[in-house]
Structure 1
Amino acid sequence: MKVTFLCTRAYIDASNPLHRRHSALLLANGGGRVLVDCGLDWAEALPGLHPEAVVLTHAHADHSGGLASGAPCPVYATAATWEAIADYPLAERETVEPRRPFSLCGMLFEAFALRHSLRAPAVGYRIRAGETSLFYAPDLAAIDERREALAGVDLYIGDGSALHDGLLRVEEETLCGHAPVATQLGWCAREGVQRVLFTHCGEAIVPGEEAVLAEEVAAEALQRGVLAIFAHDGMEIELH
Structure 2
Amino acid sequence: MVYHEPHKSHRAGWLRAAVLGANDGIVSTASLIIGVAAASTTHQGVILAGIAGLVAGAMSMAAGEYVSVSSQSDSEKADLVLEKNSLEQNYEFEKNELAKIYETRGVDPILAQQVAVQLMAHDALGAHARDEIGITVIGNAKPVQAAFSSASTFTVGAALPLLLAWVIPGDQLIPAVAFSSLVFLAFLGGIAAWVGGAPISVGAIRVTFWGALAMALTAGVGSIFGVVA
Place the TM-score, normalised by the shorter chain, in its bin. under 0.3
Normalized against structure 1, the TM-score is what? 0.18
Structure with bigger RCO (C-alpha 8 Å, 6+ apart):
2
Normalized against structure 2, the TM-score is what? 0.19
**Which structure: greater strand fraction?**
1
**Which structure: greater helix fraction?**
2
The structure with the largest alpha-carbon Rg is 2
